[in-house]
Structure 1
Amino acid sequence: MAALERITDPVARARAMTLVLDQQRHLAELRGEVVVELLARPGASLRTVGADLELHWTTVRSIRDSHLRKQIREGD
Structure 2
Amino acid sequence: MLFTAKRLTTVTLAAVLIISLGACSNWSKRDRNTAIGAGAGAIGGSILTNGSGLGTLGGAAVGGIIGHQVHQQ
| Larger Rg over CA atoms | 1
Q: Identify whether the pair has TM-score above 0.5, normalized to the shorter chain.
A: no
TM-score norm. by structure 1 comes to 0.37
Q: Which has the higher contact order (CA 8 A, sep 6+)?
A: 2
